[in-house]
Amino acid sequence: MSGFASDYLGTRLTVLASRLISFEQLIDFIELDLERIMAQVKQRSGYDYDIDAANPRWIEAQLTHRALDEFLILLRPFSGSERRFFQFAIRWFELVNLKVLIRGKFSGIDSSEIEQQLIDLRSFIDLPIKRLLEADDPYEMLRLLETTAYGGIVRQARRMYEEHGNDLFLLDATIDRSFFIDLKHHARFLHDEDAANVRQVMGGLLDRFNLLWLLRYRFAYELSPAKSFYLLTTTGNRLHSAELMRLAKMDSIEEVIAALPEPYQRLLANIGSISDMEMVMEYYSLSIAARALYRRPNLLARTFSYIVLREAEVRFLQALIKGKQLGFDNDLIKQAMGAVA
């Protein structure tokens, strides 16, 4: 990247990062009514979103579109393997659609209902949505999906479905697992220093997913240690293969938590449920991304961190606004946003 492009990207990132709404701020928004939330969002992010009471999906689409527009701007200075890495990373958004499609078709949900749940990703769409929705049965859809860029991921999902049936968690985890393996593979083609910095941010995410999947596979699905370990994704910062293999052999959640390396042991020590642990781990992985965005000089790691944080912000805001629109009480919204005490 040229000096000019670096300066451009650095400035862009600084401006965009200053507009990010932190998780704590979002939690404070829960106490406000919808109008004041939108005013706060406008004040902090600079974006003015329209609320359509008749169509709650409209605000979700706007939030996603704004984020994707920003990613397009951030991607401009990149080329070659760096660009390919970020283009792949942004596919995370499309995975949401992929999961909606697979779950929907396997559950026999009507195509129009599935369509309503899909996010309009505009130029980021790789999936032939119209043809997929027109599929009359799930296997027809899988055959179609196998011809797309997601063919590898879909084949894994098909195998999981045939093995365990329409279990939403297992299907989602299988799709995410393949995505992270491929993402790490793309990161290998980055320059050494960039790859190391990006891996640091990615590592937090991978630790989070691996630990939570391990807990669920072992203690909710009661799978064997070997199979539980096999279904994990590529390794992250602190939970390396040997560590995960050791944890997989343990017989209770408490035993696993007690054997975790720091800071995970300290963070999860007094938390009872796996879903609460999920939230703490997510918050921690986002704090790693925030550190990289605000304190590290590496532009690739900062860009990747921004994408991670912005994706989480969009998700939290969607949950908050949707909750308010549907008139849910604050505790329920807080739960949906993943706020734990």
Partner 1 sequence: MLPTPLEMRKVGLYMVDADAQSAAMALARMGVLHPLEDSASGQVLQDYPAAAFQAVYHDLNSRFGKISSFLQTPLQAPLESDELVTLDQLQVLDQQLKQLWAQISALEEKIRRQNEKVGVIRQLANSLQKFSSLDLDLGRLRRHGRFLRITVGTVPAENFSQLRRALSLTKFMIKVFYSSEGINHVVVFGPSQQREEVHDLLQSADFRGLTVPQEFTGSPAQLQADLDRQIEQAEARMQQWRQELSELITANLASLQSAQDLLLRARPYASLATVLRGKGGLVFLQGWVPAEREEQIRGQLAEQLQFPFQLEFSEPEQQEFDSVPSLLKKSWLLQPFQGLVKNFGMPGYREVDPSGLFALSYVLMFGMMFGDIGHGSVIALLSLLFYRRYPGITIVGVLAGMSSVGFGFVYGSLFGYEHVVPALWMSPMQDPVQVLLLAVLWGAGFIVVANLLAIRNFFAAGQIDQACYSGKGLAGLGFYLAAFYAAYQVAFNNYFGWLEFALVALPMAVIVHYQWRQSDGGLVERVLVVFIEGLEHIISNVSGTLSFLRVAAFSLNHIALAAAVFAIAGMLGSFGHGVTVLLGNIFIIVLEGAIVAIQCLRLEYYEGFSRFFSGKGRPFEPLKFET
User: For binding to partner 1 (CB under 8 A), which residues are involved?
Assistant: 134, 136-137, 139-140, 143, 159-160, 163, 181, 224-227, 229-232, 241, 245, 248-249
Q: With respect to partner 1, which residue has the nearer C-beta, 99 or 249?
A: 249
Give how far the C-alpha of residue 41 lies from the chain's centroid of Cα atoms, to the nearest Å: 21
Q: Which is nearer to partner 1, 139 or 169 (CB)?
A: 139
Q: What minimum distance in Å lies between the beta carbon of 170 and partner 1? A: 11
User: Can you say how many angstroms the Cα of residue 10 is from the centroid of all Cα atoms in its chain?
Assistant: 24
Q: Which is nearer to partner 1, 50 or 136 (CB)?
A: 136
Minimum distance of partner 1 from residue 227's CB (angstroms): 5
307 neighbors 86 (Cβ within 8 angstroms) = yes
| Rounded least distance, CB 130 to partner 1, Å | 9
181 burial class (0-12, 13-18, 19+ CB within 10 angstroms)?
Answer: middle
Neighbours of 101 (CB within 10 A): 27
Q: How far apart are CA 149 and CA 250, in angstroms?
A: 38
**b or e along 130-158 (b: 16 or more beta carbons within 10 Å of the residue's beta carbon)?**
eebbebeebeebbebbeeeebeebbeebb
Give min distance, CB of 247 to partner 1, in A.
11
Indicate the residue among 48 and 137 with the shorter CB distance to partner 1: 137
- Please choose, from the candidates 335, 334, 320, the residue with its C-alpha nearest in 3D space to the C-alpha of residue 34: 320
Distance CA 323, CA 274 (A): 23
Separation CA 191–CA 14 (nearest Å): 23
If you compute the radius of gyration of the chain from its CA atoms, what whole number of angstroms results?
20
DSSP-assigned letter for residue 338: T
- Measured in degrees and rounded to the nearest 5, phi and psi for residue 69 equal -60, -40
Q: How far is the CB of 224 from partner 1 (least distance, A)?
A: 5
The CB-of-248 to partner 1 minimum distance in angstroms stands at 6
CB of 199 to partner 1, least distance (A): 18
69 vs 137 by CB, closer to partner 1? 137
- Closest to partner 1 by CB, 159 vs 191, is 159
When the beta carbons of 231 and 317 are compared against partner 1, the nearer one is 231
For the chain, report the end-to-end CA distance as a whole number of angstroms. Answer: 43
Q: How far is the CB of 118 from partner 1 (least distance, A)?
A: 17
- Classify residue 179 as exposed, middle or buried by CB count within 10 Å of its CB (0-12, 13-18, 19+): buried
- Cβ closest to partner 1, residue 48 vs residue 134: 134
